[in-house]
Structure 1
Amino acid sequence: MSRSDATPDPYADPIAFGQRMQIRRQSRGISRPVLAGLLGKSPSWVKQVEGGQIQVPKLPTILRIAELLRVRDLSDLTGDEGAHVDLFIGPGHPRLAAVKAAIDAFPLTADRAAPSALHLRHRLDRAWTARHEAPNHRQVVGELLPDLIRDAQLAARQADTAPARRAAQSILSEVYSLSQFFVAYQPDSALLWRVAERSMVAAQDSEDPRAIGIAAWLAAQAHRDSGAFDAADAVTMEALRYLEPLLPDADDGVLSVAGALQFEAGYTAARRAQTGSAWGWWDRAEKTAKKLPADHYDMITSFSQAIMGAHAVTVAVELHQGGESVRQAAKADEKVIKSRPRRARHRIEEARAYQLDGQPDTALATLDKAFEAAPETIQYNGYARRIVLEETEARFPERRRRASELAVKLGLLAA
């Protein structure tokens, strides 16, 4: 066989930026018109970039393309092996190894009795409280999780009646859910999926509707954040079909997780640039929230009447509706969000809104407030990292300085 008849080696020559962009876009199932709309460009501009007819965009545009296509390492898009910047994964937390060891261990024998379900419930509630109240919430939760995981696993193994087993599995599922919050956006995606799957298995064994809904809610997020929108929708819709018959008589806990799932459907629709569907699901979630007491705040999902304003900002931002996202940010009152990390997340969404609306200085000021609320939230948030990196290249010296100072705090630049 002649050399010309051989299958081309895709790695023999460097792949141009435009080709990499096209491969990523097609693998995500995003059309040129949709990507163009989200970037504020024309479809012909996207086609010309992909075809190499026009030069590689500047860094701010590259970063936005990377965000939309969920490119985790910037070098995968640029081809520059010297530009390894992981946009959507934060640093490995010092407690990650200990948490991973506890998750991976399955001892078959034990020389002690498992704690009671009530004891585990109190510890788990304290862990959730710590997650919401501590600015260094990953550190605090990372210290509590290893023993909590081991004891919950032990309780599930030693349960000797059907009701006890179901109760133990419900707690174990929730412990894995807390673990997923800790593991998320850290450099061990296999561990994240292992935790998500174990949470769902334990939830199903528990036959507890709230546990099943929470496990599905977190699994949908994991799928969506990896770019698997169809899988995210499948999990969300199946969970909602399961919960729907229970809602007329549901308590606040089950109602909250149903509302959280409704918003997840809207969030995924917004990521798909499906405007009508996104706002339609937000409306359904808001109606569910209004059925809850005014002061209700779900400890796991944060679902509440108070959170719907923040959710509206997220939908508008994901749809790249700059003006609408700023209007929603002005309406939302982040002070009523009881959780530090959730307040910080809302500040990050506000910052995205301001940047979309052409207010980068306000965006940076808002990210500073997110850092004050919960440093370990913003350090692991890919959107915040992208905005900061982009503004370190700003034309204005004062903005570059502010962005660089924040980049140092986030560990993106050396001091």
Structure 2
Amino acid sequence: MDESNPTPPIGERVRAARRATGMNIGTLAGLIGKSKGWMSMVENGHIALDKRSDIAAIADVLQVSADTLLGEPADDIPARLPSVNLVALREVLHEYAVDDPPDVPVRPLEQTAADLARLDDQLRRTDYESMMRTLPRVLSELHAGAHLAEPHRSEALRQLITACGLAVIVMRHFGHSDLAWISGDRSRQAAAELGDPVWSAAAAYQRAHARSSANRSRALLATPRVADELEPHIGDDPFAHQVHGMLRLSAALANQVSGNHNEAQRQAAEAADLAARFEEPDDPQAWELFGVSNVGVWRTMLAVEAGDAGEAMRISDQVDTSALASKNRKAALAMDRFRALHQLGRDKLAGRELQKAEKLSPAQVRYSPMVREAVRDMAAVKDPVLRGVAWRMGVI
């Protein structure tokens, strides 16, 4: 491997994994329903392997994790890629548990709740450095708070689930899938202690997205069932409705990466119907920003995953980005527009979308295996905007 390009393309990792199993390229192609020529072009970097369903299928046949093919956690290239200091967060996640908390004082929970509100705002602004100065301490306190007397114990557990959800997102954005998974599982443990079906469903959502969906993890594949089981407990609670809606979107993704396109569309349509029922279609305080515009972001991604780039662009053109109260969600939409435009062969316009996404959320873009693979496929393009992003990603 060229030392100036430290992260090998996905195709190279597929070839290495295939050879390690002793499988020939024709057999692999046949088992995933592709031609030998297509598989050869993937391995040689002539076709971008940038669809989760294809990666998941190859990983299943080769009996490796999708993370192995994606190269996660992403390589650390300090000169180009944004980074954050994870020493304190790693210490909390590795050293403590809900049933083995740190011996630290717990401030009044009104104060930790205020910290969580600030952390959520910082996440929406992609101010990760500020988050890392506060999040580890809050997590420590809430681990300890889970052992307070009621009603403080239950409130601390709810806040711990929220804090773990924030950690999942940040760690995924920086390519640390190991820490994201610990955070998601810690959320599940806290929800089990709390015993509330709505919060258990919220924790299930967080855990489902702690790893790349290309892994087809049990947590992601369980989201259709979790959504169904939540319905009897929703009542008139807006929070419960928002959790239900995000689980329906997750169920759509689970079906898409499993190759069930029709069910993916049905689940996404149900989420869209749920979002349309709210008086305020895009409540900036909604859990995980569930609303009409965020559903549009998800449906754009699902169309890209289905290989329907034209539909992805049609859906994305209808999204009111001004209603997305988060740079992360705006960046996610621009990233999927980039992938759709690349699929359509409109690489100059694709580069502009990628530049837009990078300005909104640099880490989210530069650590994305899907985006990195598409950028590698476009490496020969001479457009200076695209080449600039490619350099900052460590692709060229």
TM-score w.r.t. structure 2 length? 0.81
Note closer, same or farther for the CA distance 1:94–1:21 as it changes in structure 2 (3 Å cut). Answer: farther
SS where residue 288 of structure 2 aligns?
coil
In the alignment, is the contact (CA less than 8 A) between 2:175 and 2:367 conserved in 1? no
Deviations 1:255-295 (A, max 9, x none): 11100000111112122232211111111001111122224
Deviations 1:233-273 (A, max 9, x none): 22x134223311122x2321111110000011111212223
Paired position in structure 2 for 1:410: 393
The 2-side partners of 1:201 and 1:23 are apart by 42
Aligned pairs for 1:177-196 within 5 A: 177-184=165-172, 186=174, 188-196=176-184
The 1-side partners of 2:139 and 2:366 are apart by 25
Which of 216, 219, 225 is the matching residue for 1:228?
216
In the alignment, is the contact (CA less than 8 A) between 1:343 and 1:370 conserved in 2? yes
SS where residue 140 of structure 2 aligns?
helix
In the alignment, is the contact (CA less than 8 A) between 1:72 and 1:86 conserved in 2? no
Instruction: Tell me if 1:160 matches 2:149.
Output: yes
Deviations 1:84-142 (A, max 9, x none): 995554355332222111222337663x63112221111111100111024xx332322
Return the offset for 1:18. 9.8
Instruction: Tell me if 1:102 matches 2:89.
Output: no
The 1-side partners of 2:45 and 2:134 are apart by 41
Instruction: Tell me if 1:392 matches 2:379.
Output: yes
The 2-side partners of 1:410 and 1:113 are apart by 42
Deviations 1:62-85 (A, max 9, x none): 544798315999xx99xxxxxx99
Note closer, same or farther for the CA distance 1:262–1:102 as it changes in structure 2 (3 Å cut). Answer: same
Return the offset for 1:193. 2.3
Gap runs ≥5 in structure 1 = 1-13, 37-44, 78-83
Which of 251, 258, 262 is the matching residue for 1:276?
262
Gap runs ≥5 in structure 2 = 1-17, 77-82
Aligned pairs for 1:3-402 within 5 A: 15=19, 19=23, 31-33=31-33, 36=34, 45-46=35-36, 58-61=44-47, 63-64=49-50, 68-69=54-55, 87=71, 89-91=73-75, 93-106=83-96, 110=103, 113-134=105-126, 137-157=127-147, 159-161=148-150, 163-184=151-172, 186=174, 188-222=176-210, 225-228=213-216, 231-234=219-222, 236-247=223-234, 249-292=235-278, 293-298=280-285, 300-394=287-381, 398-399=382-383, 401-402=384-385
The 2-side partners of 1:21 and 1:190 are apart by 31
SS where residue 283 of structure 2 aligns?
coil
1:266 counterpart letter in structure 2: A
SS where residue 15 of structure 1 aligns?
helix
In the alignment, is the contact (CA less than 8 A) between 2:109 and 2:156 conserved in 1? yes
Note closer, same or farther for the CA distance 1:301–1:91 as it changes in structure 2 (3 Å cut). Answer: farther
The root-mean-square deviation of aligned C-alpha atoms, in Å, is 3.3
2:119 counterpart letter in structure 1: A
SS where residue 320 of structure 1 aligns?
coil
Pair member with larger Rg: 1
In the alignment, is the contact (CA less than 8 A) between 2:52 and 2:257 conserved in 1? no
**Identity over the aligned pairs, expressed in percent?**
19
Deviations 1:193-232 (A, max 9, x none): 2221110110122233442222111222235625225552
TM-score w.r.t. structure 1 length? 0.77
